[in-house]
Amino acid sequence: MCGIVGFTNKIPEAEQVIEKMMEAIRHRGPDSGGKYVDEDIAMGFRRLSIIDLSTGSQPIFNEDGSMVLTFNGEIYNYQSLREELISAGHCFKTNTDSEVLLHGYEEWGKDMLPRLRGMFAFVIWDKNKKELFGARDFFGIKPLYYTEMNGTFMYGSEIKSFLKHPGFKKELNTTALENYLTFQYSPCEETFFKGVFKLLPAHWFTYSGGKLSTGRYWEISFDADEGPNLDEWVEKISETFKDSVSAHKIADVEVGSFLSSGVDSSYVAAVANVDKTFTVGFGEDERYNEIGYAKEFSKYIGKDNISKVITAEEYWDNFPKIQYHMDEPLADPAAVALYFVCRLAAEKVKVVLSGEGADEIFGGYNIYKEPDDVAIYNLIPRPIRRCIGKCAEKLPAHRGLNFLIRRGKDLEERFIGNAYIFSEKERKSLLKITTDAPSAKEITKPFYDKVRDKDNVTKMQYLDLNMWMTGDILLKADKMSMSNSLELRVPFLDREVMALAQRIPKKYRVTKENTKFAMRKAALAACPPLTANKKKLGFPVPIRVWLKQDEYYNKVRAAFESERSKQFFNTDKLVELLDQHREGKYDNSRKIWTVYTFLVWHEVFFS
């Protein structure tokens, strides 16, 4: 696991600049660094040594030195690909997975990408063609950003490295701010930094002669197979997941596992047979502390559990640093808990396994039950439901009205993912500035269009796989782990696991009885029944409680009334949200945290 940076070389001090850019992401790879600079390109690399510890340093060159590679990630099927390439006549200088990418690109070009099994973001420079080729993994586990400014094309694992380049112009993208207020993360291709873009998951790019081209090499395709029965699907899940975990354990260093009280991380820890599990929690309230469960489960599987109770002071004091590492604001309170569990694990191991992705691919979120739960209400003709919903929207907020409002809308109108913070009307009222931000429906429409013929549960999963998982779940997984120089691997997010999951009928994914129905049955073979059927918590955080306490209420109020806040927001409305929450009128905690997170992030990067 590493960090990469680079730029087309149009400046005389390229050596010094690439060194500064590398230093900005040293946390991603503290073990060593390397660079390649010529009259056309500067490429930098920071290494966290996991595989081939002695000879796996980068950049890596092909046989004649005409191609140069820098790579962040792991290729789990590199050994079989290596044998195939050796048979085709390629000569390897190392035993690392990185070199497989270089020779694979020589042999197959872009067609190499669907052959890979792993997580990756890499760039290859072809000296003869004077062309950059880069790609990002299937699900977007590893990040890759790019921008073109002042005649220079830059790329990197983290945006903060661009700030060290003299040609980079730092400017806030206010459109991203308005979108973020609804989604709690940055949902579009352009980031919070104007002119800086994310390479989308399962995409490649080429840059040559000042022209950028991008394309997609893989697509999730749900196509239910009604043939196998439930027991057969459970057996297939068990076999495929065990194979994925085995592949994800390939390393020349010790591998650990995160453990909450949910089935996903428990299933991973049990199947992986790691020596150590890691857990964090808050206080003694079981709603916010899963340590007791984790210790019991670790004892059940015969492993050591290492845990830490996070204090409120630690949480709030570390928050600015966490937003720095995030690059873009992310208002998911669990990101901070993830930071601490990564820090805890990094004291003992270099690699951990985690349960991200299981909910999206197997249908695990409780909201996925909504279409079946309200099936009777849906018998009411759609025009009548819409009329009732519009009337309910005009009434004062009251328990039960939200149901009528949501059911008065089509799925494509009401579901944008697992977070829906501020509506378009609310965010317009809150913002002092004017932007050209699209509506949430405009952002989600391209994804809904691709699954228009599917059932509602599948539509929700598809949207989350392409938006929520990449924009929130995997963003915090990468940034929080790498901020602690820790490699986080996600065996659920595997090409083979996805190929299986997208064939499982909806009736075996989400039922009235439970979510992730078939997967939970598979987990029963490795976990006690209590675990396999337990409701998901996932390192919960008591933000709503803290915001009612004087110390943190005053801290947030000061931020809301600051000059910084006044640049963007109608601050009286922010204070009103805060006071309503403190008085117990409404639970505004997620709305408050979304705005506060942005203000902290903005202070870190624009003060």
Which residues are marked as active site?
A: 2
d(CA 187, CA 471): 6
Sign for the pseudo-dihedral over CA of 443, 446, 451, 453: positive
Q: Contact, 358 vs 491, CB < 8 A?
A: no
Whether 322 and 604 have beta carbons less than 8 Å apart is answered as no
CA-wise closest residue to 555 among 602, 606, 592, 587 = 592
Edge-to-edge order in the sheet of strand 487-489: 304-309, 276-281, 255-258, 351-353, 487-489
Tell how strand 211-216 and strand 32-37 pair up.
unpaired
User: Which position has the token pair 């079946």?
Assistant: 372
Whether the CB-CB separation of 258 and 265 falls below 8 Å is answered with yes
d(CA 197, CA 192): 9
Query: 406 is written with which tokens?
Result: 């949501």
Q: CA-CA distance, 497 to 511, in Å (whole number)?
A: 21
Cis, peptide link before residue 529, omega less than 30° from 0 = no
Q: How far is CA 37 from each of CA 12, 278, 421, 474, rounded to the nearest angstrom?
A: 11, 41, 45, 31
Q: Which amino acid is at 82?
A: R
Instruction: Show the tokens assigned to 378.
Output: 């849906």
- 3-class DSSP assignment, residue 584: coil
DSSP conformation letters of 11-39: STTHHHHHHHHHHHTGGG-BSEEEEEE-S
112 near 105, Cβ under 8 Å?
A: yes
Label residue 305 left, alpha or beta by phi (over 0 means left) and psi (-120 to 50 means alpha). Answer: beta
